[in-house]
Every structure is written in C-alpha cells, then in structure tokens.
C-alpha cells in the first residue's frame, strides 16, 4: 500500500486513497502507550486543478494505561486529518511544516510525505486521561486492590462501593499501588 500521496496521479474530482503504516514507520513513542497495531489512513481527495482538498480519518488500536486502575487496555483511536494541498512551482522538496492547513507541493514532483501528519494525528488522538471503561471502579485507596476484578474489606467502610468512585482517590490509589509493588 502507498506511503506517499501522489498528487499528480490524482484524477480531477473525488477519489479515495488508503495508506497503511507500521507503528515503527511512524516512529510512534509516548510514555504509557504501546503501539503494536498498523495505522490506517483513509483519505478522500477532491481535486480541482492544482488544488486538492483532503479529508480523512486515522484509525488504529493503541494500548494505554487506565488512570484509575492502572491496567493496560486497548483503545480504538480515530482522529480526523483535514488539509489542503496546492501544487506550486518552486515549492520546497521536503514538506515537514505540517502546522498549516495548506501544504505546498512542488508541481513537478507532485508527491507529499504524509507520515509526519499521521504521526501527529495518532498522538493527538490519545486521550489525556485514558479510562479502560467509563465506570472503571479503580483501585482501593487502602490496599490497592483492583476493584474491577475483586473486592476488599475497605470498600464498605469508605463508602466507595458505588459505580463512580471519588476522583480524588485516584492519585492516592495510584501511589499506593506503586508503593505496594516496590515493597
Ligand atoms: Zn480502569
Ligand atoms: Zn482495600
């Protein structure tokens, strides 16, 4: 499958392109995340002469650590990627400036390296506070037991046995779990 968007090969009007990257091809790295699955980029291009409107979705599965129970879980990532490309004379050969929504591509070469944009989209698509599920019960703040899979004697006395634990306990629970692990 393609890794580079060949703009010169795009027909006038609407067309669809698909790209598949291995995580190592995108050099994906983020603390607390594991990238093992291929990253799919499905792109709809609408070409009008030298201008191309590109609208697509980046999808993949990422292993993330839940902020409540600290377990790793699989997250279905989906992030929009939209930009305009313009074929220009004398545009720089290598386009790494993806900050802008308009990308200038040399008209003679007509190719666009989309990997940096896909890399950024994957990292943007990762939530700041990953949760394995909306109603993750988290850890017992006293003994660190994972309350999704077990119960312990502290829960009733703390009144923490409802489905939405007080978020203020989460950091303490995480600390306790660390302490338990290292001792
Ligand atoms: Zn969880
Ligand atoms: Zn407990």
Q: What is the 39 CA–ligand 1 centroid distance (Å)?
A: 24
- Answering whether pTM is above 0.85, one says no
- Report pLDDT for 103: 85
- Report pLDDT for 40: 97
Of the candidates 47, 3, 48, the one whose C-alpha atom is nearest the C-alpha of residue 21 is: 3
Residue with tokens 């790793």: 72
- The answer to whether the CB of 130 falls within 8 A of the CB of 75 is yes
Beta-carbon count within 10 A of 33 CB: 18
Residues linked to residue 14 through DSSP beta bridges, in sequence order:
46
Task: Give the tens place of pLDDT for each residue, 69-127.
Answer: 999 999 999 999 999 998 988 766 555 555 567 888 888 888 888 998 999 999 999 99
Q: What is the 175 CA–ligand 2 centroid distance (Å)?
A: 14
Q: What is the 109 CA–ligand 1 centroid distance (Å)?
A: 48
Q: What is the 32 CA–ligand 2 centroid distance (Å)?
A: 25
Task: Give the tens place of pLDDT for each residue, 116-173.
Answer: 899 999 999 999 999 999 999 999 999 999 999 999 988 766 554 455 556 666 777 7
Give Cα 41 to chain centroid, integer Å.
12
Residue 52 above 90 pLDDT? yes
Residue 183 above 60 pLDDT? no
Which string of DSSP letters, residue by residue, matches 122-178?
A: HHHTS-SS--SSTT---B-TTT--BTTT---THHHHHT--SSS--THHHHHHHHHHH
Residue 180 above 70 pLDDT? no
For the CA of 134, the nearest ligand: 1
Q: What is the 68 CA–ligand 2 centroid distance (Å)?
A: 15
């Amino acid at each position: 499958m393609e890794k580079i968007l060949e703009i010169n090969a795009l027909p006038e009007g609407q067309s669809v392109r698909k790209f598949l990257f291995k995580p190592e091809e995108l050099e994906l790295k983020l603390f607390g995340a594991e990238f093992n699955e291929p990253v799919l980029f499905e792109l709809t291009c609408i070409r009008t002469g030298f201008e191309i409107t590109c609208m697509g979705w980046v999808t993949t599965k990422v292993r993330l650590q839940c902020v409540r129970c600290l377990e790793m879980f699989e997250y279905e990532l989906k992030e929009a990627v939209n930009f305009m490309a313009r074929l220009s004379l004398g545009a720089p050969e290598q386009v790494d400036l993806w900050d802008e929504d308009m990308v200038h591509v040399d008209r003679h070469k007509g190719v666009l390296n989309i990997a940096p944009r896909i890399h950024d989209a994957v990292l943007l698509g990762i939530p700041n506070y990953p949760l394995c599920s909306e109603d993750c019960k988290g850890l017992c703040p006293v003994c660190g037991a994972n309350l999704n899979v077990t119960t312990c004697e502290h829960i009733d006395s703390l009144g923490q046995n409802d489905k939405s634990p007080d978020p203020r306990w989460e950091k303490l629970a995480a600390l306790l779990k660390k302490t338990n692990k290292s001792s």
